[in-house]
Structure 1
Amino acid sequence: MTKLGSFSASVLVLLVWRMGEVAEACSCSPAHPQQAYCNADVVLRAKVIGQKQVVTGNDNYGNPIKRIQYDIKQIKMYKGPKEEIDVIFTGDSSAVCGVNLESSGQKEYLITGKLESDGTTHVTLCDFIEPWQSLSITQKKGLESRYDMGCQCRIVRCPSVPCEVNHPMECLWTDWIVESTVYGPQAQNYACIQRSDSSCAWYRGAVPPKKDFMDIEDP
């Protein structure tokens, strides 16, 4: 192998290693939008109007902990504290699950995140954060009340066949198997809702579900 070929191979190995290191540093399982809503402390619609890097303390070795502070204009709070949130924080790089948001104030986002012990809101790549215009009508309606109606249910992702639910309160999420994407029809158009007999089933509709409803119901 020539010196150039050896150098290129070394660079490729280093690149693959670094990519693996980043992936290992920030990895999370995909979540159905309803799961993201139910698991979040904060769910809101907002515009990002500014950003800056800040130091929020030091780690155990005395190194500064850097974060990106996003200044936001809250449009609507779906879940969270009564007081308005005007700032959210994230890691300063994708390697630590930092989220990159457009801060021109032109784009609206749906943002889910966690409340920290000091009352600040923190978001990561593992949270469900999407441009508002990319959400389906059903997802937007789900934020109003439908997702909350299903927080007692469990959505089980099917990563490979065979797969099945093991409890009446589970809904099987098959987008990955059927559509080769985790954000297929079930993520865009369905909510897992608890029925009158306490079992859970997928529901699709433009009005709140009746006390008793059929699986995959349309109004």
Structure 2
Amino acid sequence: MSAVTLALLFFLSVGLKEVQACSCSPGHPQELFCTSEIVMRAKVTGEKIIHNNENLPGMGTIVYEIEVIEVFKGFDKINEIQRVYTNEMSSICGVRLAFGEYLLSGSILPEGFFISMCDYIEPWDKLSLMQKENLKYRYLKGCTCTIFTCIEKPCQPSTKNLCILTDWTSLWPYEEGISVNQSACIRHSNGSCGWYEETVKPSENDTIDMSED
């Protein structure tokens, strides 16, 4: 069950007067990428609100009209997506977008492509060159790795599938320029996982085939 669905059920169970703010667990951008069904660069061109129940103000659905520019994940699920859905209220993780280009990630629900505040969503022009390269060439490859957040030192990987993350306090919300948000955990040609270093040119075996089976 998605975080958005859980938040909606919680909202309905406690009633309008007792609603709490949306709460999202911290996550590295790559983790958010890997847990999303679709990740894309898209331009928001329109917006409308569908009121699902007149007796529950604010419980509507925002529908954004979009133009897909580039797809990073979910190539087989994109199916000519032209709309993005989100909850109207931010208290149940609804997302407010302006007209313009965004990095959007989310899940496929019965009503369509659904996004929430807990997904990886950023204005495209706020992403650094390194982050854009990670989206195109590294995150998908690293989805077979695990990013492990270490709170107590010493921090040593217990298996070759781990990338250790110690700078966990700056994960969420997004902070421009924070190095942890620029990093990518990739699987190397020897089978181990490790943080990609910009100064080290990946070998031919470390390049990514962006196509999906």
From 109, 118, 143, give the equivalent of 1:116: 109
8 Å contact from structure 1 (residues 138, 206) kept in 2:
no
d(CA) in 2 for partners of 1:117, 1:21 = 25
From 196, 199, 210, give the equivalent of 2:189: 196
Question: Displacement, 1:72?
Answer: 1.1
8 Å contact from structure 2 (residues 73, 140) kept in 1:
no
Question: Displacement, 1:55?
Answer: 4.3
Question: Displacement, 1:51?
Answer: 1.2
What one-letter code is carried by the residue in structure 2 that aligns with 1:98?
G
Matched residue, 1:68? 62
SS at match of 2:60: strand
Matched residue, 1:52? 48
8 Å contact from structure 2 (residues 170, 180) kept in 1:
no
Where structure 1 has 5 or more consecutive residues not aligned to the other structure, the ranges are 1-17, 214-219
SS at match of 2:31: helix
d(CA) in 2 for partners of 1:75, 1:84 = 11
Matched residue, 1:134? 126
Q: Cα 1:82–1:197, aligned 2, differ >3 Å: closer, same or farther?
A: same
Deviates more, 1:120-129 or 1:77-86: 77-86
Q: Cα 1:67–1:194, aligned 2, differ >3 Å: closer, same or farther?
A: same
Identity of aligned residues (%): 38
Q: Cα 1:124–1:172, aligned 2, differ >3 Å: closer, same or farther?
A: same
Note the alpha carbon deviations across 1:41-95, whole angstroms, 9 max, x for none. 11111121111111468xxxx9796211111122112222243211000011111
Aligned residues: 181
Q: Cα 1:126–1:82, aligned 2, differ >3 Å: closer, same or farther?
A: closer
d(CA) in 1 for partners of 2:79, 2:67 = 13
From 153, 170, 193, give the equivalent of 1:181: 170
The alignment status of 1:34 with 2:34, answered yes or no, reads no
Correspondence 1:1-20 to 2 at 5 A: none
Q: TM-score, normalised by structure 1?
A: 0.72
Matched residue, 2:145? 153
The structure with more radius of gyration: 1
Q: CA RMSD in A?
A: 2.9
d(CA) in 1 for partners of 2:50, 2:149 = 37
Q: TM-score, normalised by structure 2?
A: 0.74
8 Å contact from structure 1 (residues 195, 211) kept in 2:
no
Question: Displacement, 1:21?
Answer: 4.7
SS at match of 1:22: coil
